[in-house]
Structure 1
Amino acid sequence: MGAQTNTQRSFSNLSKSLPTLKHLFDHDPFTNKPFGLTNIALQDEILSMVSFCSSMALSTTSHELKRFKLTHLFTVIKTSKKPLHHDVLSSVMSLISVNIFRPLPPPSPAFPITSTLAEENEVVVSSTLPSLNWLLLELVYEILLWLVINIDTQTLEKHIDHTFLLGLLSLFDSEEAKERESLKNVFHQIYYKLTKYRSFMRKAMSGVFLEYIFETERHNGIAEMLEIWGSIINGFAVPLKEEHKVFLKRILIPLHKVKGMQNFNKQLGYCVYQFVEKESELGGFIVRKIMKYWPQANSQKEIKLIEELEDLVEKLDPKLYRDLALPFCSHMTKCFKSLNSMVAERSLYMWSSEAFVTMVSTAMEEVFPVILRGMENIIRSHWNENVKELARNVKVILQEMNPILYHKTLHQNRSKQFKATQINRL
């Protein structure tokens, strides 16, 4: 929290040091002549305009006027046939800084990012009511995005530095979903365009992830940042650098264990899949680690992880099936037998995956006893009839795969069960 305070203080100092909005609406923004500020009245008018456009506590009428002026500014910038003068661009960046860089309010009880009342029922509840401030900020972000996309790289580098990037990153914790979406677009475009900042941006985002995983487990922008990372990973060259594999091991894998994982599971899954597609041998490591972080009392999270594992099996190199078959099938059998019917049903539907059936076929001698014992247990004692029916269907699949091994295993399992029953009676 201290680092965040220092960052906000540095932004305040940065915005004060930047040029002000120098009579932008009355002056030709494309001239190369320097602005003349000898007239005291003109300087006062400039300061008044900057103060007005920088205020975040305005009346409804003032908001409308400010929105009108921002719209006009955006139109002037977009319709320009010449590059903006350096001083004008500095003034616009100053206006952007003083508007978007601000301390975020404490988490609102009315709009929590996740509900912590019951881990079983964690959900995302985002604010959908746009504030007057956001209607103004939206325009500021649109101006910033346009500048990042259209200003040449050399010029842009003069107006965006590490402090500016850290400020953007801190705003990802905003409760306003539309602001996070705007930040995602801006941050990604900066990463794409300003290549010299890429390493710094990756490290800065990694720092936010690590704090979320190991300290707070609360942040509003994890999904948006992971979406940026999905695009970044997609661009990694093969073979992967060691630093990129470290990101997978230290951040992407541990993100599976946090309570709110289901709030960003799609973006997280996409990042993981990109690594497997880049280097398929990573698949076995990833599957084992995900199983290690399995939740104990969170059915929604279990279902999300089952879906991710099913997709991973589809992408795995078949050469890995043999070594993974027994630990994977043993783990899934626990899910098959889950007393939560949704978990049990979703895991049993994995038998419709051709890749999973192929994995089972690579190690039938080892996995048949485990799976058949689980199916017999379900049919005998599970409370849900749909789950029982799915278990019967799995037995049919196993029988068709290898009838001789199926009957042999079934006989051995029942003999062991009978002996265990006899011992318990003694």
Structure 2
Amino acid sequence: MSDSLAIVNPDSPPKEKLDIDIVSKDQEDLAKRQLTFELFSRFLECTDYDMIEKREIDQMIIVKLLESLDSKDAGEREFTKILLRRIYFKFDPLRPYIRHEINNVFYRFIHETENINGMTELMEFLNEVFRKCNDLPNDEQKNLLIKIIVPLHKAQSLITYFIPMMKCTLLLLHGNSKVMGDYINGLLKIWPMVSSEKEMMFLDEIYKIMEKIGKEEFEQIQLPMFRRIAKCLASPHMSVAERALRMWSHQNIVAHIISNNEVILPVMFPTLYQVSKEHWSDEVRDLVYSITKLFLKMNEKLFNELNKNFKSEREKEKALELEREERWNKVMEMQSNRSQCLSVDIDLNSGLVDHLKELVID
């Protein structure tokens, strides 16, 4: 009786005991889930697997596993990923459904809420799937790249799953190179404008793709890509500028630049000229100067022509700026003269008014 009264007695603080009960209950639930996972794992590893009816593993189990993958516990997510992987590789008929449900998780993350755990584990799972048996149809690969992976770059939590996602991307593009142009154009359209950290990740990914890009795909994206590279090159953030300069460090990329220098050089020249003279980092200026000399060797005639035109345009701009400044000074002078005239008129008028007042008083 006293115990029951103690429970409802407002003077007795039950909070500490309640916290202990909650913790112990959570630990108990976690232990039960771990035991369930372990039994299920042993079931999947059964040596007499051929005797097990395949109907024992159905779509509902996949749904429950994906729900478990949203757990806040990293160990539970890892174990869930292992189970999902074993089911995927043992049950061929379930593979399309597993990919479909994973895509639904991605769509919910993109369009509804970013508060979903397990994105890293899902990317790691797909990475292993694509490495061992990349049997996705081309349409499904394109859909995954363009409608899922590209939008996933916009999330604030991109850094948590970026590396496994980039590995998935490279594996998919390796098997379907025709999508490279659409994929890079997709990244260029959502390029981060305020986050240097995300900008560096984008540049790293594009560099990895460009290492193996073909001639046709390169020509498809060269104009928009090098416009963006030029802006990154002029970035005041030194690491962003250095990552943009890294495009000239790989043999395959340089070969494509040389083959298409007549298109790329006019896009890059104004930025190369300004950065080589105005960037605050000596290291960036030195690297840009080296690239400028490389372009000069590629096409000296075009380089000299662009240099002449650029200097001519700069002189015209300076002349226009000087002309605008002179016009502004004239306007300010006229305004000053007008203000002085108005001041004199006011003084005269005020003197006349005072004189009339004196006459009236007299």
Is 1:165 the counterpart of 2:62 in the alignment? yes
Distance 1:257 1:204 in 2: 21
Which residue number corresponds to residue 304 of structure 1?
A: 201
Higher helix share: 2
CA distance in structure 2 between the aligned counterparts of 1:156 and 1:400, rounded to whole angstroms: 69
- Aligned counterparts, 1:22-421, within 5 A: 137-138=33-34, 140-150=36-46, 152=49, 155=52, 157-234=54-131, 235-237=133-135, 240-421=137-318
TM-score, L = length of structure 1: 0.65
Letter in 1 for 2:269: L
- After TM superposition, the runs of 4+ consecutive aligned structure 1 residues lying more than 4 A away are 57-60, 131-140
> Deviations along 1:11-59, whole A, 9 cap, x unmatched?
xxxxxxxxxxxxxxxxxxxxxxxxxxxxxxxxxxxxxxxxxxxxxx799
The Cα offsets for residues 354-390 of structure 1, whole Å up to 9 and x where unpaired, read as: 2222222222122212212111221232222222222
Give the secondary-structure state (helix, strand or coil) at the position aligned to 1:281.
Answer: helix
Q: After superposing the two structures, state which structure 1 stretch, 377-386 or 214-223, moved more.
A: 377-386
Between the aligned partners of 1:367 and 1:161, the Cα distance in structure 2 is: 54
Aligned-residue CA RMSD in angstroms?
A: 2.6
Q: Which has the higher contact order (CA 8 A, sep 6+)?
A: 1
After superposition, the C-alpha distances for 1:365-416 in whole angstroms (9 at most, x for unaligned) are: 2221221211122123222222222222221222232333322222222222
Query: Which consecutive residues of structure 2, in runs of 5 or more, have no partner in the other structure?
Result: 1-20, 324-362
Contact persistence 1:153–1:193 (CA under 8 A): no
State percent identity of aligned pairs.
25
Deviation of 1:197 (Å): 1.5
Is the deviation greater in 377-386 or in 150-159? Answer: 150-159
SS of residue in 2 equivalent to 1:253: helix
Larger radius of gyration: 2
Query: CA contact under 8 A between 2:191 and 2:199: conserved in structure 1?
Result: yes
* TM-score (norm: length of structure 2): 0.76
* Farther off after superposition, 274-283 or 155-164: 155-164
**CA distances 1:165-218 after superposition (whole Å, capped 9, x unpaired):** 211101111222222111111101101111222122111111110010111122
**Residue aligned with 1:351, SS:** helix
Equivalent residue for 1:97?
none
SS of match in other structure, 1:296: coil
Contact 1:276 1:315 in 2 (8 A): no
Moved more, 144-153 or 250-259: 144-153
Distance change in 2, residues 1:146/1:415 (3 Å): farther
CA–CA distance in 2 between the matches of 1:249 and 1:59? Answer: 44
Q: Which amino acid aligns with 2:40?
A: L
Provide the C-alpha distance between the structure 2 equivalents of 1:308 and 1:226, rounded to a whole number of angstroms: 15
CA distance in 1 between counterparts of 2:271 and 2:206 reads 19
> Across the two proteins, how many residue pairs are aligned to each other?
302
**Structure 1: distance between partners of 2:174 and 2:204:** 17
